[in-house]
Each structure stands twice: as C-alpha cells, then as structure tokens.
A and B are shown apart, each in its own frame.
Chain A
Amino acid sequence: MFFPISHTHVSPIYLVVVGFLIGVLGGFFGVGGSFIAGPALRLVGVDWNFAVGTDLAHIVGKSVVAAKRHRALGNVDLRLGLIMAIGTIAGAEMGAQLIQVLKRAGNVNFVVSVVSIVIYLSISTFMLWESWKTLARAKSRNAGSKSGPLPPKSDESAFQHVTTAIQRWRIPPMISLPASGVTISLWIILLVAFVGGLCSGFLGGGAGYIRMPSMVYVLGIPTHLAVGTDLFEIIISASYGTFTHAIKGNVDILIALVMNTGAAVGAQLGAISTQYFAGPKIRLAFVPLPLIGAAIVIYTMFSGHKL
C-alpha cells in the first residue's frame, strides 16, 4: 500500500500487526512503545523523521483506547494525570532544548545513546531487584498461612519505606489523590512528571518506561493505577508532540491510522490482562522492556545502522 504523505510503500498487514503488538504492551504496561514502533517503521523504509512523528500520532490513538479501557476498570486517576501532563510538557521542552545544545556541540548521538543505555539498564536492574524481592517476601510470608499467592490487582512493594518517606515531605500545596489513596506535595508530582518529560524530549518517545515506575516508587501510586494514569497522561503529552512534529512535516497520519486499527484491539487485550496479575508481577514482567530499548541503542551505536 502506498502512503503518499511519507512517499513509502508499506504492507498494511505489517502495520496492523506492529500496532497490535505495541497495543498489547501499552495496555498492559502503560508505555507508548516508541522504542519498538520507531525501529519497526524504519525497518520497512519509513524515513527517520516520519518514523518519530508518526509513531507519536499512533501512540495518541492507542493510548485513548487503552486509557478508556483502564478508566472503565477504575485504573485512571484523572487529577494526577492532568497535573502530570503540565510537568511532562515542560520537561519535554527542556529535553528538546538540551538536544539542540548537544547538536551545536556536535556530540548529540553519543551522549543521547550513553544516557539512554544507563537509564534503561538502571530501570531494569532496579525493577528486577524490587519486584523479585517483593514477590519473594510475599511468598515466604504466605508459606505458613492459608492466604496463598498475591491475589490479582493487589499491590505491595519492597521499596515502600522510601515511598512513605517521600510522601511525608510536607511541601505545600499538598494534593489529595483519592482515586490513588495518596496525599503528596504538588512539587513532587511535578518533579516526577518533569523528569519523565525531560527523558521524553531528550531520548524520544513517550518515556512511559520511566514515568510508570516513578509513579509507583516515588509517588506511591498502585501499579494498576500507574499504568492507567500514565496512559491518560500520554494522550495529552503525545498529542502535543504530534502537533509539533506535524507542523514540521514529520507525521504520516495515514500510517498512524492503519497502525491504530491493530493497536485498538491489542490495547484492550493488554488493559484487560492487568486485571489478572498482582502489581509486583506486572513490574517484574516490565523488566525486559527497557532492556530491549538498551539493546536497540547498543546495536545502533556499534553497527552504525539507525534502526
């Protein structure tokens, strides 16, 4: 099928399948999936600028579907999502400015690659340690009791003591988030969102790989709510990103629309699946995602190919 905006021939079946896979990941983990969608579009000959912009447009559509489903399941904290969107957009602008500074210095590719590898590996290692420890603790605690393994949708964390300490920082104004069962300083929410946005602007994509874990470990949001709220927040920040890329001529909306037909089914499947897993299990399953991102960056660094 010929897509006249980006002047590329791509199989619509390929786009639907890629959209479906990213939809499942997005619905289950609350991530945009740009670290897969971007390279997948490049693989079939879509120019890099179109791959980045089109991927963002597709993320908007997929996140609408997944967030609607999560909202129906009670997994979206609207107030938190709206506050985070402000911090994310500010951070994304700062990240984009940093890229411009590095471009002028002439070492943007190397710095961005090294920073992204460090961030991806750190997130994976930390989440592996935390979720493993949480599951092991729950297992040993339940060994002598009748309660059995962690029930679906339950949540606990071996990092909870740090989260509780952060929640005690009473820097006004304090924001009450009844949907998440948390009261926390507005500045901490904005800081978490800003860092997520910074990573998004600096490293590309929606940065759900850093925002979702930050919401769980720093803000103390239950994993299921973090996934749903992150998706809601991605709708706003990715729409903003889509607009800025579209006016630069980087979005082939026809490709995004085709991808979204697969993503709509995948995102629903992913979102529904979260109901059958406890929070630590979702976090443990999340561990390979940043590793895939790191592997792609390492490959492009050493092979010289831009996937």
Chain B
Amino acid sequence: MSPRSKTAVRRTLRAFALELVIYAALVTGYFFAVLHFLGGWLVHLETQHIRVYAVVAILLIIGQAVVLEAVTTGLMRLLRGGRSE
C-alpha cells in the first residue's frame, strides 16, 4: 500500500471509531423505541397473517438498511469534513 493510501486508511479508521460511538448511542435508542413498539405487532402478524408478515419483514429490513446506510454515510461525511470515503 502506498503512503497516501495508508494515510487514507488511518483517517478512515479514526473517523470510523468516532462514528461507532455515535452510532452505538443511536442504535441503543432505536432498540428501545422502535423494536419495543413493533415487537407485539410483528408477533401478531406472524401468527395470524403469515403472508403479510413475510412482505412486512422484507420491507422492514430493506427500509432499515436504507435508513442505516444514510445515517452511517451522513455520520462519516460529517466526521470527515464533507467526504464520505
């Protein structure tokens, strides 16, 4: 790896460590807020309307992924002064 690449990797890792701390706090809040409220409804769907549950499951996992990607990219950009990588 060239010295320039090494510096870039170091910078990315430093930003990543900071991002991890902020992200952990956000995720902890997410666990308690969203999953707590969704749990009962999802169990009901899984036992009573399995096909709806299957569709909701896919939508939830894709939706969460899109939001988390936006959050992590936003954090990375914020921590690295406007650049995402």
State which residues 50-85 of A face B: CB under 8 Å: 57-58, 60-62, 64-65, 68-69, 72-73
Question: Residue of B at shortest CB range from A247?
Answer: B54
- How many chain-A residues does the 8 Å CB contact rule pick out? 38
Contact of A246 among B20, B38, B53, B65 (CB under 8 A): B53
Interface of A is mostly: helix
**B73 CB to nearest A CB, Å:** 7
B54 engages A264 (CB within 8 Å): no
The reply on A234 being an interface residue by CB < 8 A is no
Number of interface residues of B (CB under 8 A): 40
Which A221-248 residues sit within 8 Å CB-CB of chain B? 235, 239, 242-243, 246-247
Contact residue among B12, B31, B61 (Cβ-Cβ distance under 8 Å from A58)? B61
Known: A5-B43, A12-B31, A261-B68. A253 touches B19 (CB 8 A): no
Q: B57 and A152: CB pair below 8 A?
A: no
Q: State the main secondary structure of chain B at its contact with A.
A: helix
Q: Would you call B58 an interface residue if the criterion is a C-beta within 8 Å of the partner chain's C-beta atoms?
A: yes
A49 an interface residue at 8 Å Cβ cutoff? no
Select which of B30, B62, B69 is within 8 A of A69 by beta carbon: B69
- B85 and A60 contact, CB distance less than 8 A: no
Residues of A contacting B68 in the complex (Cβ-Cβ under 8 angstroms)? 61, 65, 260-261, 264
Q: Is the CB of A64 within 8 A of B60?
A: no
Nearest residue in A to B57 (C-beta to C-beta)? A253
Interface centre among A235, A242, A257 (most CB of B within 10 A): A257
CB of A242 within 8 A of CB of B43, answer no
Q: How far is the CA of A153 from the CA of B46 in the complex (A)?
A: 45
A254 at the binding interface (Cβ < 8 Å): yes
Contact yes or no, B72 A268, CB < 8 A: yes
Do A260 and B65 have beta carbons less than 8 Å apart? yes
Does A167 sit at the interface, judged by CB under 8 A?
A: no
Chain B window 48-76, contacts with chain A (Cβ cutoff 8 Å), 1 for yes, 0 for no: 00110111111011101110110111001
Contacts of B65 in A (CB 8 A): 60-62, 64-65, 260, 264
Evaluate contact between A60 and B54: CB separation under 8 angstroms. no
Do the beta carbons of A265 and B62 come within 8 Å of each other?
no
Check B57 against A57 for contact (C-beta < 8 Å): yes
* CB-nearest residue of chain B to A59: B61
Besides A60-B61, A261-B68, 20 new A-B residue pairs in contact (Cβ under 8 A), listed by A number: A5-B42, A12-B31, A57-B57, A61-B61, A61-B68, A64-B62, A65-B69, A239-B62, A242-B54, A242-B58, A246-B50, A246-B53, A249-B50, A253-B61, A257-B35, A260-B68, A264-B65, A264-B71, A265-B23, A276-B9
- B interface residues with partner A (beta carbon < 8 Å): 1, 5, 8-9, 12, 16, 19-20, 23, 27, 30-31, 35, 38-39, 42-43, 46, 50-51, 53-58, 60-62, 64-66, 68-69, 71-73, 76, 84-85
**Interchain residue pairs with CB less than 8 A apart (9):** A12-B31, A60-B58, A65-B72, A235-B62, A243-B54, A243-B55, A249-B46, A253-B56, A253-B61
